[in-house]
Amino acid sequence: MIKDMTIDMYMELLASDEPTIGGGTAAALSSAMGASLVMMVANLSIGRKKYAEFEPVFTEVLEKMRAVQSILLDKADEDKASFESVMQAFRLPKSNEEEISVRNKAIEDATKQATLVPLSVAMWAIEVTKNAIPLIEHGNVNARSDGLVGAQLASAGFAGAIYNVKINLAAIDDKNFVSEIEEKIQAAISQMSVFESMWRRLAG
């Protein structure tokens, strides 16, 4: 599993010509690191008199981000597995019409799944960005920059995930599926833009 790798192992594999660890896993891990930094600011704010007014908010965000961080780490492995499934589908035999039909369906189904995984990453990245905002605004001022980095990492993870969704959509023939996902992309981008404008305004 990717989360069990050392940083050196992961970075070396990411830089290699191995195609199954790439931008999709990086987007998930970027968002997971964002969640970790939001948790850091929460931990540095909870239990301090100066920030007692917002402690219930910080505690809630801490618990949310702990769960989201775990989900995003799992999504990195899901992204790897979904891309491997696409490659396996392309390796299916195609020597006659029946085999071609089976292969085409397998490719379509695998590509759909490979589209849904980064879409899910994008939605969780929105959660990280949204929850970073109260920590940036009301949390420990000495860790404010850490909260901003967390929001930036989640924003980068979101953008990366959307890139992966779009490139997969281009290879899918099911127009209804494509239309449905495109609508979800636009809704997600609109939602994320609101939170991005909020934390960027707080950054000054």
Q: What is the pLDDT of residues 22-77, one digit of tens each?
A: 999 999 999 999 999 999 999 999 999 999 999 999 999 999 999 999 999 999 99
Is 9 inside any structural domain? no
Residue 14 within any structural domain of the chain: no
How confident is the model over 131-156, as a mean pLDDT? Answer: 98
Angstrom distances, CA of residue 73 to CA of 5, 68, 116, 157, 170: 12, 9, 16, 12, 26
For the whole model, what pTM was predicted? 0.96
Count of structural domains within the chain:
1
DSSP 8-state code for residue 155: H
In DSSP notation, 18-72 reads: -TTSSHHHHHHHHHHHHHHHHHHHHHTTTT-GGGGGGHHHHHHHHHHHHHHHHHH
Report the alpha-carbon distance of residue 81 to residue 102 in Å, rounded: 20
Q: What is the mean pLDDT of residues 182-189?
A: 98
Please indicate whether residue 1 or residue 192 has the higher confidence score (pLDDT). Answer: 192
Residue 184, in any domain of the structure: yes
Task: State the average pLDDT over residues 155-177.
Answer: 98
Please, which pLDDT band fits residue 19 given cuts at 50, 70 and 90? confident
Is residue 131's pLDDT more than 90?
A: yes
- Say what percent of the chain tops pLDDT 70: 100
Q: Is residue 109 part of a domain?
A: yes
Q: Is 6 among the domain residues?
A: no
Lowest mean pLDDT among 4-8, 39-43, 150-154: 4-8
Residue 12 covered by a domain: no
What is the average per-residue pLDDT within 141-160?
98
Domain-embedded: residue 7? no
Task: Give the pLDDT confidence score for residue 20 in this predicted structure.
Answer: 83
Per-residue pLDDT reduced to its tens digit, 68-124: 999 999 999 999 999 999 999 999 999 999 999 999 999 999 999 999 999 999 999
Domain limits for position 58: 19-203
In a domain, 89, yes or no: yes
For residue 147, what pLDDT is reported? 98
